[in-house]
């Protein structure tokens, strides 16, 4: 590249950097100066690679305007306690979304309840300057009755199943536990499972199967869509009799 071409290229790079640097200036105004006055369930603080980070749910609409537009703001915290936001994620269901900054990672968790209890937790770690999706934990607790499988299973069965995915090794571990709700001892085990599920824990003993996964894109936090993440690569499952099956095409 000659000098005449180099100068405009440098100028464009500098202007792009300045624009990027000011891209989330509005988000700084949304972050509180005193976190002690904020609902603890709406944010998480933590350190990653000796850098402090904040992830927080806020409403990005100005108070003077009508409406509600929930987002999750991710920001680095400077030594002078100033915020440097680097990503804003739109939230369709803010009450069902939580975040944690711990174990050198950012964890985003989504929970729903409709004919069962469902949760998905996504783990992002800092790789080459960007937060990459490295792990995923998906769980559900559903009844054979609500799923229309009561007759097929021969009773009222609750199934706690999940998939633990390691995107770095392209492996997924499928696991499951079944509870016969006509047996008192299984009801007690099921009640404990509900507590573990709510805490994002998986069972210590269960039916398990490890499989290789393919077709998984290399996703970073800034291009991650919580409501539209394609998990079609998870096409195996345990049925209510704990038989391992596949729906892969």
Rounded distance between C-alpha atoms, residue 108 and residue 89, angstroms: 11
Q: CA–CA separation, 14 vs 95, rounded Å?
A: 39
Which contiguous run of DSSP H or E holds residue 192?
Answer: helix 184-198
| End-to-end Cα, the chain, rounded Å | 49
Q: How many Cβ atoms are within 10 Å of 234's Cβ, its own excluded?
A: 18
- pLDDT given for residue 25 in this prediction: 84
Q: Is 49 strand, coil or helix? A: coil
Cα gap 238→234, rounded to integer Å: 12
pLDDT of residue 9: 37
Tens digits of pLDDT across the chain (249 residues): 443 343 333 333 333 333 345 688 888 888 988 888 889 999 999 999 999 999 999 987 755 455 678 899 999 999 998 999 999 999 988 889 999 999 999 999 999 988 889 999 999 999 999 999 999 999 999 998 765 555 555 579 999 999 999 999 999 999 999 999 999 999 999 999 999 988 888 887 789 999 999 877 789 999 999 988 988 999 999 999 999 999 988
Q: What is the pLDDT of residue 59?
A: 86
Name the pTM for this structure.
0.84
């Amino acid at each position: 590249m000659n000098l005449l071409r180099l100068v405009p290229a440098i100028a464009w790079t500098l202007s792009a950097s300045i624009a990027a640097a000011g891209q989330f200036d509005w988000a700084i105004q949304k972050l509180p100066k005193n976190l002690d006055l904020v609902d603890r369930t709406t944010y998480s603080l933590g350190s990653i690679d000796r850098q402090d980070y904040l992830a927080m749910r806020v409403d990005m609409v100005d108070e003077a305007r009508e409406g509600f537009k929930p987002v999750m703001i991710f920001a680095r915290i400077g030594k002078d306690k100033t915020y440097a936001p680097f990503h804003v994620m739109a939230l369709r269901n803010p009450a069902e979304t939580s975040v944690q900054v711990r174990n050198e990672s950012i964890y985003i968790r989504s929970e729903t309840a409709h004919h069962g209890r469902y949760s998905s937790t996504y783990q992002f770690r800092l790789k080459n300057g960007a937060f990459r999706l490295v792990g995923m934990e998906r769980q559900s607790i559903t009844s054979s009755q609500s799923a229309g499988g009561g007759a097929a299973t021969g009773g009222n069965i609750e199934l706690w199943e999940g998939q633990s995915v390691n995107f770095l090794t392209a492996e997924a571990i499928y696991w499951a536990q079944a509870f016969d709700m006509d047996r008192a001892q299984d009801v007690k085990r099921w009640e404990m499972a509900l507590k573990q599920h709510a805490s994002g824990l998986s069972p210590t003993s269960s039916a398990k199967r490890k499989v290789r996964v393919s077709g998984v894109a290399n996703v970073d936090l800034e291009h991650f869509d919580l409501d539209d993440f394609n998990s079609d690569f998870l096409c195996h499952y345990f049925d209510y009799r704990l038989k391992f099956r596949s729906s892969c095409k």
